[in-house]
Structure 1
Amino acid sequence: MNISARNQIAGRLVAITPGAVNGTVKVEIGDGVIVTASITEEAIADLGLAEGDQVTVIVKASDVMIGK
């Protein structure tokens, strides 16, 4: 898969939590660090995602905000 996003991080899918429309997927990217994403249930099904799958986290955002 070739895409323009440069922020690509390989990881292992460790959890899928289904929802009515969107599900939550958790990906361990190393050293116990987890990235969580909310994606549609349709995307989960289309990609055939399952716990243990090797996946790529792709981050594409125009803004990143931090609060304290």
Structure 2
Amino acid sequence: MSIQAINVRNQFRGKVAAIIEGPVVSEVDVETPAGIVTSVITTRSIRDLGLTLGSEVVALVKATEVSIAKL
């Protein structure tokens, strides 16, 4: 299967900089020109996608809620 189009507008191309694996979920840090984007995905997905350090990926961000705290 290949993706021909996607409606997510916030896309950040980058490379996997770090993977912190847990038994069920894991953190994936993606280094992008805009900075580090961290995603929490299932550990199974990391295996299914074949993600390793240096893998080229696209981080797709679609937020349903954004919280702001005053400093």
Is 2:13 the partner of 1:20? no
Q: Distance in 2 between matches of 1:28 and 1:51?
A: 11
Which residue is equivalent to 2:43?
A: 41
Moved over 3 A (4+): none
Counterpart of 1:43 in 2: which secondary structure?
A: helix
Gaps of 5+ in 2: none
Q: CA RMSD in A?
A: 1.2
Pick aligned residue for 1:9 from 7, 12, 34:
12
**Deviation of the 1:56 alpha carbon:** 0.2
Which stretch of the first structure deviates more once superposed, 2-11 or 38-47? 2-11
Pick aligned residue for 1:56 from 22, 44, 58:
58
Structure-2-length-normalised TM-score: 0.85
Q: Percent identity?
A: 45
Give the partner amino acid of 2:62: K
Question: What is the aligned residue count?
Answer: 67
Structure-1-length-normalised TM-score: 0.89
Gaps of 5+ in 1: none
**Deviation of the 1:17 alpha carbon:** 0.5
